[in-house]
Amino acid sequence: QWRSIGRRYGLSASDRELIFMSFCFDGAHERWLSAVTHGGTVVIRPEKQWDLQETYENMHAQRVSVVVFPPVFLRELAAYVEQIGNPPPVRVYCFGGDAMPQASFELAQRVLKPAFFINGYGPTETVVTPLTWKALPGSSFDSVYAPIGEVLGQRQAWILVDQDEFVLA
């Protein structure tokens, strides 16, 4: 699993990943384990939750290159950077935990300008992140929300078509 995630994110020893989410959330464990198994540095925020400005300042000060935010926080960060300029040096923004509206994604893409975005999707009933959508610069989508993507690693995904009919994705 960690190797599959590392390949999808392009993780390396030069990465510095900010663990923004609570360690009570299963996704936090996936993130720090992925960073460490690829030789990267894990940046852990203090117990006190940072506000938007503190997050922005610490992303610069700590030279964060990979971070995961809920879509609403990513939208707020993009709006903040749009006002003041100077986007953080982040190479990969991942969003998860909720659906990413098209307008929020377009704002983040236009203002933050990372190498790429990843939508990490994983319903609680399954493994942590079974699906990801990798959005390179210029990526777009026509739906209301960002796509959930493709299977990550050596897995299969099944789609429930009817009450009792599954189709291999």
pTM: 0.88
The C-alpha angle with vertex 40 and arms to 72 and 148, in degrees rounded to 5, equals 35
Residue 1 has pLDDT above 90, yes or no: no
pLDDT, tens only, 53-73? 999 999 999 999 999 999 999
Decide the pairing of beta strands 92-95 and 131-135. unpaired
**Joined tokens for residue 45:** 């925020």
Q: What is the mean pLDDT of residues 42-63?
A: 94
Quick one: which H or E segment has residue 72? Answer: helix 71-84
pLDDT bin (cut points 50, 70, 90) of residue 129 is confident
Assign residue 150 the CATH number of its domain. Answer: 3.40.50.980
**Joined tokens for residue 28:** 């936090």
Q: Domain range spanning residue 92?
A: 2-168
Residue percentage of the chain with pLDDT more than 70: 90
- Measured between its terminal Cα atoms, the distance across the chain in Å is 19
Report the number of distinct structural domains present in the chain: 1
